[in-house]
């Protein structure tokens, strides 16, 4: 949810990303509250694998926007569409995501929409978690009505799919789906109607990661399977516990930097959940931030 522009901070002379609410939602108070919640959730976190939030403001027309760090890179979704990672690369990416989520979980924040489109891999092969727009904060009322679902169907946990209350273990499930996709090249549920996908998530068990890709170690396959336990009590209790187990499958050097990168000449993008199309810059956004070149629209 949002429109993202690449911009210049004229005070500090740095490139940033400005995330605006879509114009058709700019007058919707619920959308504004969720937008404010995203800024509050993310700005409270200080971790190398979480997108940095600098500020939140409003332009002269009452449009809210968040000032975020600009990252030169691509979403994990874009990279997966180009070529599959190796097992080592997949594990490293999963570990970085788990490390960032561990910071959020420690602060009592549940992301609730972990998916490849919300993960940025920078040109330095650093993983950044984006878009806490549907995050649930312990200290504030949930903006989601009881019985409704928030997130993306293919990555939602069984309890989330049912519209039930969720906790940090829902993020563990979603990260398990991402890990499965990284390791096998496919999701646990594929295509079809959303209702059919939700039925499969709740009632069917996918093949193990190792049975799909024999290069996946048995132990790592077991880690993914534990993430995808239907009963939340049988999953990892939080992302920190998952990160601890994933660490055993990283390189002997202990490096957490992924080498998963796009082929030479691939197009890069700004911090956005998914890149849809390019639009002209808008010089009237705010005096302090002068958009340069082009903006990138992202509907998350």
Catalytic positions? 113
And the tokens for 164?
């039930």
Q: Pairing between strand 119-122 and 73-75?
A: antiparallel
CA distances from 18 to 14, 27, 60, 154, 254 (A): 12, 18, 15, 28, 35
Taking the C-alpha atoms of residue 77 and residue 121, their distance in angstroms, rounded to an integer, is 10
The answer to whether residues 299 and 101 touch, using CB atoms and an 8 Å cutoff, is no
Task: Name beta bridge partners: 6.
Answer: 17
Q: How far is CA 25 from CA 28, 33, 150, 199, 219, in A?
A: 5, 11, 17, 31, 46
Query: What tokens does 188 get?
Result: 């646990």
What are the φ/ψ torsions at residue 59 (nearest 5 degrees)? -85, -175
What's the rounded Cα separation, in Å, for the pair 234 and 152?
22
Report DSSP state, residue 181. H
Q: Please say whether the beta carbons of 216 and 183 come within 8 A.
A: yes
Question: Locate tokens 């957490």: which residue?
Answer: 256
Cα gap 190→173, rounded to integer Å:
16
DSSP classification of residue 138? T
Instruction: Please state the length of the chain.
Output: 300
């Amino acid at each position: 949810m949002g429109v993202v522009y690449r911009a210049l901070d004229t005070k500090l002379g740095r490139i940033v990303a400005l995330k605006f609410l879509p114009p058709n939602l700019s007058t919707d108070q619920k959308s504004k509250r969720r937008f404010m919640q995203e800024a509050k959730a993310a700005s409270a976190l200080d971790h190398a694998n979480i997108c940095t939030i600098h500020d939140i403001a409003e332009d002269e027309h009452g449009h809210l926007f968040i000032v975020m760090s600009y990252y030169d890179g691509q979403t994990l979704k874009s990279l997966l569409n180009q070529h599959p990672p190796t097992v080592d690369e997949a594990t490293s990416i999963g570990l970085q995501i788990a490390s960032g989520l561990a910071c959020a979980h420690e602060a009592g924040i549940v992301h609730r929409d972990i998916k490849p489109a919300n993960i940025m891999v920078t040109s330095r092969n650093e993983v950044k978690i984006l878009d806490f727009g549907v995050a649930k904060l312990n200290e504030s009322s949930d903006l989601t009505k009881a019985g409704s679902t928030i997130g993306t169907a293919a990555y939602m946990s069984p309890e989330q799919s049912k519209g039930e209350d969720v906790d940090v273990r829902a993020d563990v499930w979603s990260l398990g789906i991402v890990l499965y996709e990284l390791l096998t090249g496919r999701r646990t549920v594929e295509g079809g109607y959303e209702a059919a996908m939700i039925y499969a998530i709740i009632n069917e068990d996918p093949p193990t990661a190792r049975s799909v890709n024999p290069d996946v170690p048995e132990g790592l396959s077991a880690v993914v399977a534990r993430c995808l336990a239907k009963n939340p009590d049988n999953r990892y209790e939080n992302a920190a516990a998952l990160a601890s187990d994933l660490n055993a499958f990283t390189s002997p050097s202990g490096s957490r930097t992924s080498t998963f990168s796009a082929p030479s000449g691939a197009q890069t993008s700004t911090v956005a959940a998914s890149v849809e199309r390019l639009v002209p810059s808008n010089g009237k956004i705010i005096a302090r931030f002068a958009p340069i070149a082009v903006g990138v629209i992202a509907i998350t």
